[in-house]
């Protein structure tokens, strides 16, 4: 049987190849961001370049993007942060998703160490951030990055349809931690942690509105949406990762069908950059407008 790149390396290698191996390419893309002042773009790349030796030596380093200070502890942290800057610019800023809103509310589910939240704050300094990350080790890094921003809060829980305790399967690439591990990925059965699972509705009950709800929970998207029925009714935009490479429900067309079922007015307004590249995409973000 022929072994494909996907089965040889899996998504972990694609993360490394796409987000880290393309560092120079990402810098070139960063320089063309027209809604980010040229001086700040150049300062970010200089800050990233200065941080690389420490990160490559296994030490944490702070990277500045505008007024945001983001601490990276690995090359993947740094690469995903830079990619988030590109994606937030193209999907959120250029699209005007948060324009004209005073202190927009952004709920970041599957926050990892705060890459997406930091990117949002880079372009929308007044945004109120609510981040959700279940892994206690990763959450500690998230709390540090959100603490440096101010005006943000974070919850150390996973999300699902109901309150329960489930096993989180960790991965050496922390952004791939999941409640639903894949047989083709390198998940060590001994490298797990029990985490509390709560519905998104419980986390947002005190919010009158949500301007942007981002969900990236590595194959548990359908369950997350089922626990967000009330939240979706008062959410303006949903940004969710979908993919066809996962066997179970998760982030695939079932998630889109469920969104339409819960919010009949929902419509897709933009697709983000595909992970793995356009030649071999395995998942990508979909931006959905929920209010007519």
For 51-77, how does the pLDDT look when each residue is reduced to its tens digit (9 = 90+)? 999 998 999 999 999 999 999 999 989
Q: Which two tokens stand for residue 189?
A: 């059965």
Q: Could you give phi then psi for residue 214, rounded to 5 degrees? A: -105, 130
Angle at 25 between CA 53 and CA 176, to 5 degrees: 70
pLDDT at 249: 42
pLDDT at 182: 67
| pLDDT at residue 12 greater than cutoff 60 | no
pLDDT band at 188 (very low <50, low <70, confident <90, very high): confident
Radius of gyration for the alpha carbons in the chain, expressed in angstroms and rounded: 18
pLDDT at 21: 56
Percent of the chain, pLDDT > 90? 69
Instruction: Judge contact between 255 and 222, C-beta under 8 A.
Output: yes
258: left (phi over 0), alpha (psi -120 to 50) or beta: alpha
pLDDT band at 272 (very low <50, low <70, confident <90, very high): confident
DSSP three-state, residue 207: coil
pLDDT band at 184 (very low <50, low <70, confident <90, very high): low
The winner for highest mean pLDDT among 13-27, 198-212, 233-247 is 198-212
For 90-107, how does the pLDDT look when each residue is reduced to its tens digit (9 = 90+)? 999 999 999 999 999 999
Instruction: Judge contact between 146 and 152, C-beta under 8 A.
Output: yes
251 vs 197 pLDDT, higher one: 197
pLDDT at 8: 38
For 150-164, how does the pLDDT look when each residue is reduced to its tens digit (9 = 90+)? 889 999 999 999 999
Name 1's Cβ contacts closer than 8 Å, sequence gap at least 6: none
Instruction: Judge contact between 248 and 180, C-beta under 8 A.
Output: yes
Question: Dihedral through CA 111, CA 116, CA 117, CA 119, nearest 10?
Answer: 170
**pTM passes above 0.85:** yes
- The β-bridge relationship of strands 128-132 and 105-109 is parallel
Name 57's Cβ contacts closer than 8 Å, sequence gap at least 6: none
């Amino acid at each position: 049987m022929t072994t494909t790149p996907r089965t040889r390396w899996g998504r972990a290698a694609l993360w490394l190849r796409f987000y880290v191996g393309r560092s120079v390419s990402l810098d070139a893309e960063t320089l063309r961001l027209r809604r980010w002042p040229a001086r700040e773009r150049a300062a970010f790349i200089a800050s990233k370049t200065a941080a690389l030796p420490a990160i490559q030596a296994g030490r944490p380093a702070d990277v500045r993007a505008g007024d945001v200070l983001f601490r990276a502890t690995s090359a993947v942290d740094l690469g995903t942060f830079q990619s988030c800057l590109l994606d937030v610019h193209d999907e959120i800023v250029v699209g005007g998703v948060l324009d004209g809103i005073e202190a927009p509310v952004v709920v970041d589910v599957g926050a990892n160490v705060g890459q997406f939240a930091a990117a949002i704050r880079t372009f929308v300094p007044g945004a109120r951030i609510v981040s959700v990350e279940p892994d206690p080790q990763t959450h500690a890094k998230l709390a540090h990055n959100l603490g440096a921003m101010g005006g943000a809060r974070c919850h150390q829980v996973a999300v699902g349809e109901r309150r329960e305790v489930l096993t989180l399967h960790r991965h050496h690439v922390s952004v791939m931690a999941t409640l639903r591990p894949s047989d083709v990925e390198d998940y060590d059965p001994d490298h797990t942690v029990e985490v509390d699972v709560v519905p998104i509705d419980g986390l947002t009950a005190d919010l009158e509105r949500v301007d942007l709800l981002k969900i990236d929970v590595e194959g548990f998207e359908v369950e997350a949406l089922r626990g967000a029925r009330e939240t979706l009714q008062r959410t303006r935009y949903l940004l969710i990762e979908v993919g066809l490479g996962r066997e179970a429900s998760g982030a695939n067309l079932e998630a889109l069908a469920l969104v339409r079922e819960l919010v009949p007015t929902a419509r897709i307004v933009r697709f983000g950059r595909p992970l793995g590249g356009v030649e071999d995409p395995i998942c990508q973000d979909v931006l959905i407008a929920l209010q007519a």
